[in-house]
Amino acid sequence: MEKTKKIRRIVIWSLVALVVVVTVLNCFTIVQAGHTGVVVTLGKVNDRVLQEGLHFKIPYMQDVVKIDNRITKLEVVTEAFSKDLQTVSTTIAINYRVDTSKSYSIYKNIGPDYETVLVVPAVNEVLKATTALYTAEESVTNRVLVSDGLIEGLNDKLNDIGLYVTDVNIINFDFSDAYITAIEEKQVAQQQLLKAETEKQTAITNAEAAAEALKIQAEAEAEANRILSQSVTPELIEYNKIEKWDGQLPQVSGATAIVDIPLDDNTDTAQ
């Protein structure tokens, strides 16, 4: 009997010690780096937010819900319609974070599943509104504009709640097979048109170059003729005749050449 009482006392004191240890441990909570702690006292959310580190709380009466304030990546796959009514299947990656000062209001008004309840629907709504501003082809060629529009639209919608979108990456745009075929045919036609235009421009350039060459040649010949005509004088002509004469008089057959030899004045006087 005495042994039984002794065992009972040991069990009771062990339970008491266990309760004390659990109570002491329950008086403290640790908020990890990059998180905030939302204090809930008997089901009521306090406005006070716990920052990183070790904190005291009332055991069995208060709970601390940890909210991740680091940048979180969310990938969304959805469909929307472009400005030209083409179906656009889009995969986008959203980077967002929770404002530390509003962690309690997000938990209080939305709950811990705020991503599913709030962020994903907002992404779908803003994406559809942004995609409708561009044709399907413009959505592909202007991805930066679409991304910027998504960031601006999402922040306008979520900032007041305490959520901030830092980056949007469009992973993929996908269209119907018929539209892709039409785009490929259009690109082929544009390339053929560009090739024809290039060949035409090349032919025009070659023709203009040939005409310019002929013009330059004609101007050069005209200038040479002008210089030559200015340099020809009667003295030069006589000089060229003398240079080319071989010193022989022309030979005439079948006729008598009469040479008139002039007499000087003295001869005429004597006669």
Sequence spans of domains, the chain = 2-68, 72-175, 184-221
Largest CA distance in the chain: 205
Q: Which residues contact 33 (CB under 8 A, 6 or more apart)?
A: 52
Given this model, what pLDDT does residue 234 score? Answer: 67
Q: Give the predicted TM-score (pTM) of the model.
A: 0.58
Q: Which of 86, 83, 91 is nearest to 132 (CA)?
A: 83
DSSP designation for 119: I
Q: Which residues pair with 77 in a beta bridge?
A: 91
Q: Which residues contact 257 (CB under 8 A, 6 or more apart)?
A: none
Given this model, what pLDDT does residue 48 score? Answer: 83
Q: What is the pLDDT along the chain (271 residues), one digit of tens a residue?
A: 667 777 777 777 777 777 777 777 678 888 999 899 999 988 888 888 888 888 888 888 888 999 999 999 999 988 888 888 888 888 999 999 999 989 989 998 888 889 999 999 999 999 999 988 988 878 878 888 889 999 999 999 999 999 999 999 988 888 777 776 766 677 667 777 787 788 788 878 887 888 888 888 887 777 766 776 666 566 656 666 666 656 665 555 554 444 454 544 544 444 4
Q: Does the domain spanning 72-175 belong to CATH 1.10.10.10? A: no
DSSP designation for 101: G
Q: Give the span between the Cα atoms of 56 and 24, in whole angstroms.
A: 10
Q: Give the span between the Cα atoms of 252 and 196, in whole angstroms.
A: 75
Q: Give the span between the Cα atoms of 159 and 266, in whole angstroms.
A: 137
> 107 — phi, psi (to 5°)?
-65, -40
DSSP 178-211: HHHHHHHHHHHHHHHHHHHHHHHHHHHHHHHHHH
Q: Give the span between the Cα atoms of 122 and 168, in whole angstroms.
A: 13
Given this model, what pLDDT does residue 250 score? Answer: 58
SS3 per-residue string spanning 124-191: HHHHHHHHCCCCHHHHHHCHHHHHHHHHHHHHHHHCCCCEEEEEEEEEEEECCHHHHHHHHHHHHHHH
Q: Which of 87, 91, 89, 99 is nearest to 147 (CA)?
A: 91
